[in-house]
Amino acid sequence: MSAGPGVVGNRRLPGQPVDADSSDRRALSPGALAALQPQGRALLSVDGMWCASCAAAVEQVIGRAPGMLDARVSFDGASAVLRWDPERTDLRDVAARVTSLGYRLARPAAADAVAAGIGDAMRAAAVRLALGLFLGVSTMALSVVLYLDAGAVVGSATGHVLAAIATGLAGIAVLASGWPMLLTGWRTLRAGVPGMDTLIALGASAALVLSLARLLSGSDQVYADTAVMLVVLALVGRLVELAATRRATLAIGALQHAVPESAEVRGPGGRWRSVAAEQVSAGALIRVSAGARVPLDGVVVAGRSSLDRSLLTGEPMPVELAPGATVEAGCINLRTPVELRVTHALGDRRIDALGLRIAEALGEKGATQRLADRFARWLVPAALGLAALTLSIGLAAGLDGAEALLRAVSVLVIACPCAVALAVPLTWVAAARRAAEAGVLFRTPRAIEGLAGVRTILFDKTGTLTEGRPRVSDVHAVPGTPKAYVLAWAARAEQGIEHPLAAALRAAVPADAPTREWNDAGWTRERGERIVRLAQRTKGHQRGGIDSAGVAEVLVGSAAALQGLGLPVPAAPVADDQSASRVEVVVNGRWVGRILLRDTIRPDSAVALKALAGAGVGLGLVTGDHERAAAAVADQLAIAPAQVIAGASPEAKAERVGALSHPAAFVGDGINDGIALARSAAGIAVTDAAGTATAAADIVLSGPGLAGVVAAYRLARGARRIMRQNLALAVIYNTGGLLLAAGGAVPPLAAALAMAASSVCVVANAGRVLLLPLALTGPANES
């Protein structure tokens, strides 16, 4: 089996540390590109990006390559998900196109390296912002003196010196603080996908050039403060965006931590020794001790045990192991040691494929551009065209060159979308603050847009709609055997087993049972204490000699597993709760009883789902549990049977999300939910979710229950509405301002002041998010 798409000469999962600092290790040589060519699909890193505009430019350039079927570039994960026609696409040409923009295609980077890179970018942006603010305040102070002319300095030598100092400070601020935006603006313009950085770069540069021209002509009417204001406001928005972005590929790192890094391999002389999992190849013989996680996929060749597959399925019922059974990495061997023949080495395991699918889903989601980016797509060419037209018309009308250039610069300045740049980040900051009051964390601005647009919310069952902690609901025993015997034996046999069902059985037998619960059934204290002693001397799950109490063996497991051992286990009566998990108990080869366990529904699940349904949201249940358990939960929560899918694998959960004809959110808590969370329009991880689920989700609930889902949905709808209002305000401002500036009615100073006024309006409107309601009841905020 191959290592999977995007892995060339490297048997590791994308996101796993592989010497990320070594460019040689991650570089894609011509030979590596040739080896990757026939696969037609890859997940790769894009080095050198520092903003979403960079990702948009790379995506456009790659998408234009011959034979490229799909290109999704994510700044969040510094990654590119590519699909191409192997017969028509030359990957060397694709890599060259990316290099021409100043970036580089490489093998997938380590998750911690990507997060560290975003952290470095945040710190660098903060330093540039601090420098810009310091120089900006100085420039603004000098400009105010010139604008107000309080000391009659305009037109004097002193005024000319002040104007020169202001222009010099502004030039330093633009170059030192804004150079990444200048570089990105040029790259995106050259790629044909100009964004806000292009407008900011053009506006700031034009203001500086015009200021220098004025100084050289002897005038002290400069526009240095305009240039600095553009850069500083843009840096504020960029810093907020970076702070919101540091997340995506940590999902892969969290997944890796769930699997042991070493394996016990049989060496010379039959001795077992521990080696790094990456050194074990397919065909090797490994041993997995009781209670240990499985490091590599394999087939059981010796031993019988039980397997906890909840990492992959999320469901509590263990699976019995026997020779010939398949075992996946990450699962827990519950009972006794087993020996496995490795079938898939590191990089080829099922959990590796799961991690790759999560990374691909995050990359695809990263292709969704912000509302502001889409707005800037048409504004840039319109502003450039109008500025050129204004300059041409001014010269043709007989204006001198300075006046015509002044009008053209006014067009560029007033077109700079500072209000647009702030609209999304500031609204997100306000929404994040408001959401925190309800125990909800919005990880990125995109999470708001994604959740606001969903029409269906799909829920995992175990640990999401339910508590995720099974409890004993009933005990059935053969006539003549008290239920307490059955429960005590099963609980003792499960000592030392780390599994939800085992914990539930142990919790059902409290330490003071002989003096409290069992006496209620008519038992004497002495008789109750003897039962405890009997259980304590039981040889759980082991065949051996008869002990002094007459108990040789207690076996606990599913009916199918015990029947497979040749033990007589009767079928469950129809009157039994068919939705419950059933554990059979056999003592000395004789069936003595059955214990039923159920996972209780979270107290507020019904209220939350009713509120969502009342807001017009469709509801669905997608679980890895069996059909009876899923149907029982769906019935109690009024979820239509047609919207229930049981026995779903992690891949099947993601496929259900993608099969819907409209955007859908997914709510889950386990590693097995990771792909669905990443692929959905808005993934929501509940409280105490697994690390992978939390990292793959767009929204994380820190408070108990599902009230946070309702609060997040209501807040997202209202926040998106306010974002769109801000963008509409910016459209009106830019459209009207451009026309006035082109006619010479708005000089650069007035354009800068108007730009500042529009930014203030955006900030004030974004603050309305703090007033949005979050209660479970009441009408939802509609867009």
- What is the rounded distance in angstroms from the CA atom of residue 542 to the CA atom of residue 535? 14
The pLDDT of residue 390 is above 90: no
Residue 376's pLDDT is 62
Ordered alpha helix ranges (H), 260-330? 310-313
Tell me which of 655 and 705 has the higher pLDDT. 655
pLDDT at 765: 79
Pairing of strands 590-598, 581-587: antiparallel
Q: List Cα–Cα distances, 204 to 171, 181, 236, in angstroms.
A: 9, 10, 16
Question: Residue 278 gets which letter from DSSP?
Answer: G
- As given in the structure block, the two tokens for residue 20 are 């990320």
* pLDDT attached to residue 226: 78
Over residues 416-438, the mean pLDDT reads 72
761-777 burial, b for 16+ CB within 10 Å, e for fewer? bbbebbeebeebebebe
Residue 577 designated active-site: no
Evaluate if residue 639 carries a pLDDT over 80.
yes
Bigger pLDDT: 753 or 292?
292
Instruction: Determine if the pTM surpasses 0.85.
Output: no
pLDDT of residue 555: 80
Q: Residue 283: which region, alpha, beta or left (left: phi > 0; alpha: psi -120 to 50)?
A: left
Q: Which of 76, 460, 673, 698 is catalytic?
A: 460
As a dihedral over the C-alpha atoms of residue 332, residue 336, residue 340, residue 345, rounded to 10 degrees, the angle is 20
Say how many CA atoms lie within 13 Å of 299 toward its Cβ. Answer: 6
Output the pLDDT for position 535: 41
Structure tokens at 225: 């403060």
Mean pLDDT check: name the lowest of 102-111, 500-509, 733-742: 733-742
pLDDT at 4 over 60: no
Across 75-188, where does the E strand assignment appear?
79-84, 104-106
- Percent pLDDT > 90 in the chain is 15
Q: Please state, in angstroms and rounded to a whole number, the distance separating the CA atoms of residues 246 and 444.
A: 9
Could you tell me the sign of the dihedral formed by the alpha carbons of 565, 566, 567, 573, in that order?
positive
> Is residue 532 over pLDDT 70?
no
Split at pLDDT 50, 70, 90, the class of 525 is very low
Inform me whether the pLDDT recorded for 288 exceeds 60.
Answer: yes
Percent of the chain with pLDDT over 70: 75
Provide the 8-state DSSP code for 104.
Answer: E
Q: List C-alpha distances in Å: 580 to 473, 572, 622.
A: 8, 11, 18
Contact 598, 470 (CB under 8 A): yes
Cα 619 to the chain's mean position, in Å? 22
Size of the chain in residues: 783
Look at residue 339 in the predicted model and tell me its pLDDT: 92
Q: Provide DSSP, 616-656.
A: T-EEEEE-SS-HHHHHHHHHHTT--GGGEE-S--HHHHHHH
Question: Looking at residue 536, what is its pLDDT?
Answer: 41
**Per-residue pLDDT at 315 exceeds 80:** no
Q: Could you give the 3-state DSSP secondary structure of residue 272?
A: strand
Higher-pLDDT residue of 186, 613:
613
Backbone angles phi, psi at 595, to 5 degrees: -115, 130
Domains and CATH numbers, the chain: 23-109 (3.30.70.100), 260-348 (2.70.150.10), 436-467+602-718 (3.40.50.1000), 471-598 (3.40.1110.10)
pLDDT tens digits, one per residue of 482-507 = 888 888 888 877 776 767 778 888 88
- The overall average pLDDT reported for the chain is 76
Using CA atoms, how far residue 366 sits from 35, 81, 92, 251, 320, in Å, is: 27, 10, 24, 14, 41
Residues pairing with 665 in the sheet: 457, 682
Task: Tell me the one-letter amino acid at 502.
Answer: A
Burial state string for 430-439 with b = 16 or more CB within 10 A and e = fewer than 16: bbbebbeebb
| 302 pLDDT more than 50 | yes
Q: How far, in Å, are 85, 277, 599 from residue 474 at the CA level?
A: 59, 43, 13
pLDDT band at 103 (very low <50, low <70, confident <90, very high): confident
CA torsion, ordered 43, 46, 49, 51, to nearest 10 deg:
-10
Mean pLDDT within 260-268: 81
Compute the average pLDDT of residues 646-665. Answer: 91
The mean per-residue pLDDT over the stretch 722-742 comes to: 73
3-class SS shares of the chain: helix, strand, coil, % to 5: 50, 15, 30
Cα–Cα distances in angstroms (integers) from residue 435 to residues 103, 574, 654, 701, in the given order: 36, 47, 27, 10
User: Alpha-carbon torsion 113, 118, 350, 331, what sign?
Assistant: positive
Is residue 299 within 8 Å of residue 327, measured between CB atoms?
A: yes
Residue-wise burial string across 99-136, b where 16 or more C-beta atoms lie within 10 A, e elsewhere: eebbbbbbbbbbbebbbebbeebbeebeebbebbbebb
Alpha helices in 537-595 (DSSP H): 559-564
pLDDT reported for residue 746: 62
Neighbours of 51 (CB within 10 A): 23
Per-residue confidence band for 684, with pLDDT thresholds at 50, 70 and 90? very high
Q: Give the pLDDT of residue 486.
A: 84
Residue position matching structure tokens 């290592």: 3
Please calculate the CA angle 116-676-643 and round it to the nearest 5 degrees. 160
